[in-house]
């Protein structure tokens, strides 16, 4: 199939419009308007804004099953009385079904890469392989020592690395995911670091999400969670830390020194009352802060654009600073920093770059009039304006229609499962 | 035309589904499913959530013209170098055109009532009359004394009251709008209060939006802006105060004692770096806090649902309190408190209530699965899920199609105007 991209207008005003063909999984830029009549598919970017897609740097896709189920309760109640009991009842097949719905929502929101941590990760990988996105997938390791479950937990990740790292033509990579410093013992952490190092894999973990978690850790150990991870060598490998809400200046210095990537999840942190992460300070220190939605049980959307708008406005409101995170800088969190966070190092939209292209319409009544593309996206667009999504050269959505997922079936399956599991 | 509403499921779980006919401008509830075959229009609420519509308690609709035009600059620069120069070039006909676009966006977002402050208000009223929403409209009075323009400014409001208060079958009412305590002299304020009292009209003003404005006022007068307004009798009539970001406990006490209504505009306050209003404290004091989007130049959406979600999450994040503003309480800001703020006193959805009904779909991929209607709306729905809008018995939108506004023309008109006015 020949796919032609014409009049593609990148979010950066300084980048000019371009045309391209899709050659395999890559873009082939061309100076001339390609001959549309010879193409099977023509994506015309006129009146649209083009991005290489948003990265959801921290999520738990299958949790769409729990959307709206446990509202307005404290974090611990939420986990113990609702989330965990339901998760214990989810079969691998359930995880697969729920992942498909989460991926459908992600594609519709212009997300081209997800960084997920959950269980039954083989099933998540299978869904991602079919749906066509990029993903960094992991199994959340919880074990207080190697002898008490740690070896078995690590073995699951080793198996995932074996089977799925680099799968789907390189679209899928596997990360090593000790759940957090307080749910995983030091000996397990050390083996996890070793495992990541052996495979050149990313470590993906939760870090400093709530004030209570950090205070308890400091009382117990006399150091911050970040100081502990630093001491045991966790930052000697590439590490993506979700949340980082309660970090002090010395923590920020450690994160910056070791090139730790942060997945900022502002809506989840707000909804669960965890607080406001010092994003401006982390960015100033040079930390690549990306955007994560967390799971749909604590958000309740997998909408990276809405998440980024919230991140931007939250920082400005808290600092009373109208020039904090200008539109293009805010979008950088969701795009460039997201790519850095998950290890996508190529330059988007260059000749021979992987063909990841998202076209977002600007003609909705809420986006008119539109001049500056970054301001339009950041302040006015809705994820429902996303029209076309190409990942790795394959069309996943065209004119608002999903092409790789049977959306109606995905919705019905999860609705049925929800009825069954909450009965 | 006979319109029939079936299977209407209100956001409150304790309210049961109902059926109704539209009799003129009112609902006629019925226990039986009405005979659909005799109706011209059947709105079936199955799979949807019904509300009486959102109230946008503080906006400047024609500012859609400036959407995305002046980004990421401090408030004063924004006003002086961009907003005011363009507004000076807007003709009454321009205001009319831009209002239509703002109203189209509002209807699409499920807004059934707007509370607007601008100039060329006759044109705004004309647009509202045609578009079919409810509105409380006002001309923003700016004058440092009666002798220096104040009389002429007040005369414009008197004329509006004469011509438009109660117009369009009562859908349109006129408020008296001294712009703020710092842009309007005391003698003008006193006449404005008298004018509102004479007509039983609401006063609509900006109050305590920025820290600098409040500090300067205190330095100049030795009292807070709220103490000043109280002293000159502004709270002896119903008053709607937009913003109220920088209010102290004594201010909150005054507002509560005098039943002052507050229009909270969290996204505008965030985007312009004004800060975080103490919404929880104001609600605790019994103040009816409603939601306003402010104008599209500082937001950039007129989306009350997104605004309310932001309000809720912002309070939780700032207070680190996951149980602050539960879903239904947060929605109350946009619905019940909005109605109170603008003086709509009837009980929605009762027999003989005015027929204001908004149906919001729950089958979008970002809203599935959905059980609790309030949680779905508050945390998952997008304004693009709004399907049908009825105001005062008239259908303004059906199945996502606007019926009272030529949307394509409204968009084209404002696009052309934007090109002309920024040339």
Same domain? A338 vs A378:
no
Residue A1 pLDDT grade (very low, low, confident, very high; cuts 50, 70, 90): confident
CB contact under 8 A, A320 and B414: no
Nearest CB to A271; choose among B67, B272, B316: B316
- Any domain includes A147: yes
Task: State how beta strands B18-23 and B261-264 pair.
Answer: unpaired
CA–CA distance, B294 with A314 (Å, rounded to integer): 17
- Any domain includes B257: yes
- Chain A residue with Cα closest to B381: A301
Residue A292 pLDDT grade (very low, low, confident, very high; cuts 50, 70, 90): very high
Same domain? A46 vs A147:
no
First to last CA, chain A: 47
Q: Tokens 């010879």 label which residue?
A: A38
- Any domain includes A349: no
Bond before A387 cis per omega within 30 degrees: no
Number of helical H runs and strand E runs in chain A:
16, 18
Q: State pLDDT tens for residues A72-83.
A: 887 778 888 888
Nearest CB to B75; choose among A267, A303, A322: A322
- Any domain includes B419: no
DSSP B347: P
Mean pLDDT computed over A279-294: 98
CA–CA distance, B55 with B59 (Å, rounded to integer): 10
**Nearest 5°: phi and psi at A399?**
50, 45
Same domain? A8 vs A124:
no
β-sheet with B261-264: strand ranges across: B203-207, B239-243, B261-264, B289-291
Q: How many CB atoms lie within 10 A of CB A246?
A: 25
Same domain? B182 vs B325:
yes
Same domain? B221 vs B293:
yes
Of B342, B365, B384, which marks where a domain is finished? B342
CATH number, domain containing residue A116: 3.20.20.140
Please, what is the average pLDDT of chain A? 95
Nearest CB to B270; choose among A301, A317, A369: A317
Mean pLDDT computed over A145-153: 98
- Any domain includes B422: no
Greater model confidence, A236 or A1: A236
Answer whether B37 touches A (CB < 8 Å).
no
Of A317, A342, A367, which marks where a domain is finished? A342
A34 has pLDDT over 80: no
Same domain? A245 vs A386:
no
Question: Are the C-beta atoms of residues B351 and B29 closer than 8 Å to each other?
Answer: yes
Q: In this predicted structure, what is the pLDDT of residue B107?
A: 98
Same domain? A33 vs A61:
no
Answer whether B380 touches A (CB < 8 Å).
yes
Nearest CB to A313; choose among B108, B270, B324: B270
Domain around B16? 3-52+352-401
Q: In this predicted structure, what is the pLDDT of residue A294?
A: 98
- Any domain includes B347: no
CB contact under 8 A, B273 and A318: no
Q: In this predicted structure, what is the pLDDT of residue B36?
A: 67
Q: In this predicted structure, what is the pLDDT of residue A15?
A: 75
Of B342, B361, B386, which marks where a domain is finished? B342
Chain A residues with CB under 8 Å of B71 CB are: 326-327, 372, 375, 379
Same domain? B266 vs B219:
yes
Q: Tokens 């052996």 label which residue?
A: A198
CB contact under 8 A, B301 and A418: no
CB interface of A with B, residues 314-353, below 8 Å: 314, 316-324, 326-327
Q: State pTM to two decimals.
A: 0.97
Same domain? A170 vs A103:
yes
- Any domain includes B416: no
Q: State pLDDT tens for residues A374-412.
A: 999 999 999 999 999 999 999 999 999 999 999 999 999
Mean pLDDT computed over A56-79: 90
Q: In this predicted structure, what is the pLDDT of residue A36?
A: 67
Domain count for chain B: 2
Q: State pLDDT tens for residues A210-264.
A: 999 999 999 999 999 999 999 999 999 999 999 999 999 999 999 999 999 999 9
- Any domain includes A177: yes
Chain B residues with CB under 8 Å of A365 CB are: 101, 104-105, 108, 407, 410-411
- Name, in order, each residue with C-beta under 8 angstroms of A355's C-beta and a sequence gap of 6 or more: A20, A22, A25, A26, A27, A390, A391, A392, A393
DSSP B81: I
Same domain? A217 vs A289:
yes
Answer whether B215 touches A (CB < 8 Å).
no
Q: Tokens 């395999």 label which residue?
A: A24
Of the candidates A204, A82, A197, A85, the one whose C-alpha atom is nearest the C-alpha of residue A141 is: A204
ipTM exceeds 0.90: yes
Size of interface A-B (CB pairs under 8 A): 200
Mean pLDDT computed over A161-184: 98
- Name, in order, each residue with C-beta under 8 angstroms of B56's C-beta and a sequence gap of 6 or more: B106, B111, B113, B114, B115, B291, B292, B293, B302, B304, B338
Same domain? B33 vs B140:
no
User: Cα B154 to chain center, whole Å?
Assistant: 23
CATH number, domain containing residue A14: 2.30.40.10
Nearest CB to A269; choose among B65, B317, B365: B317
Q: pLDDT under 50 in chain B at which residues?
A: none
Same domain? B188 vs B334:
yes
């Amino acid at each position: 199939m020949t796919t032609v991209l014409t009049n593609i207008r990148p979010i950066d005003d300084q980048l000019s419009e371009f045309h391209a063909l899709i050659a395999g999984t890559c873009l082939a830029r061309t100076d001339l308007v390609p001959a549309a009549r010879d193409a099977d598919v023509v994506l015309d970017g006129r009146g649209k804004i083009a991005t290489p897609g948003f990265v959801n740097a921290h999520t738990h896709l299958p949790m769409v099953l729990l959307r709206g189920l446990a509202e307005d309760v404290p974090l611990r109640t939420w986990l113990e009385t609702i989330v965990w009991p339901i998760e214990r009842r989810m079969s691998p097949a359930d995880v697969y079904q729920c992942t498909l719905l989460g991926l459908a929502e992600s594609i519709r929101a212009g997300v081209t890469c997800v960084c997920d941590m959950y269980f039954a990760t083989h099933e998540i990988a299978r869904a991602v392989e079919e749906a066509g996105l990029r993903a960094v997938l992991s199994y959340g390791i919880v074990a207080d020592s190697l002898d008490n479950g740690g070896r078995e937990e690590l073995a699951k990740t080793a198996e995932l690395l074996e089977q799925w790292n680099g799968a789907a033509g390189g679209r899928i990579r596997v990360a090593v995911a000790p759940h957090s410093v307080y749910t995983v013992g030091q000996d397990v952490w050390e083996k996890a670091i070793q495992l990541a190092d052996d495979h050149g894999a990313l470590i993906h973990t939760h870090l400093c999400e709530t004030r209570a978690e950090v205070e308890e850790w400091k009382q117990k150990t006399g150091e911050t969670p970040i100081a502990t991870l630093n001491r045991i060598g966790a930052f000697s490998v590439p590490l993506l830390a979700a949340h980082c809400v309660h970090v002090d200046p010395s923590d920020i210095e450690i994160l910056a020194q070791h090139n730790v990537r942060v997945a900022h999840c502002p809506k989840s942190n707000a909804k669960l009352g965890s607080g406001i992460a010092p994003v401006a300070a982390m960015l100033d220190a040079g930390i690549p802060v990306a955007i994560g939605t967390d799971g749909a049980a604590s958000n309740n959307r997998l909408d990276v654009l809405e998440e980024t708008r919230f991140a931007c406005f939250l920082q400005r409101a808290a600092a009373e600073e109208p020039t904090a995170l200008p539109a293009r800088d805010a979008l950088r969190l969701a795009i460039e920093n997201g790519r850095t966070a998950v290890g996508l190092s190529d330059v988007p939209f260059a000749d021979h770059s992987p063909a990841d292209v998202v076209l977002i319409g600007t003609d909705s009544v809420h986006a008119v009039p539109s001049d500056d593309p970054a301001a339009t996206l950041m302040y006015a667009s809705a994820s429902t304006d996303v029209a076309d999504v190409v990942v790795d050269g394959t069309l996943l959505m065209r004119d608002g229609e999903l092409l790789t997922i049977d959306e109606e079936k995905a919705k019905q399956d999860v609705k049925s499962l929800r009825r069954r599991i909450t009965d």
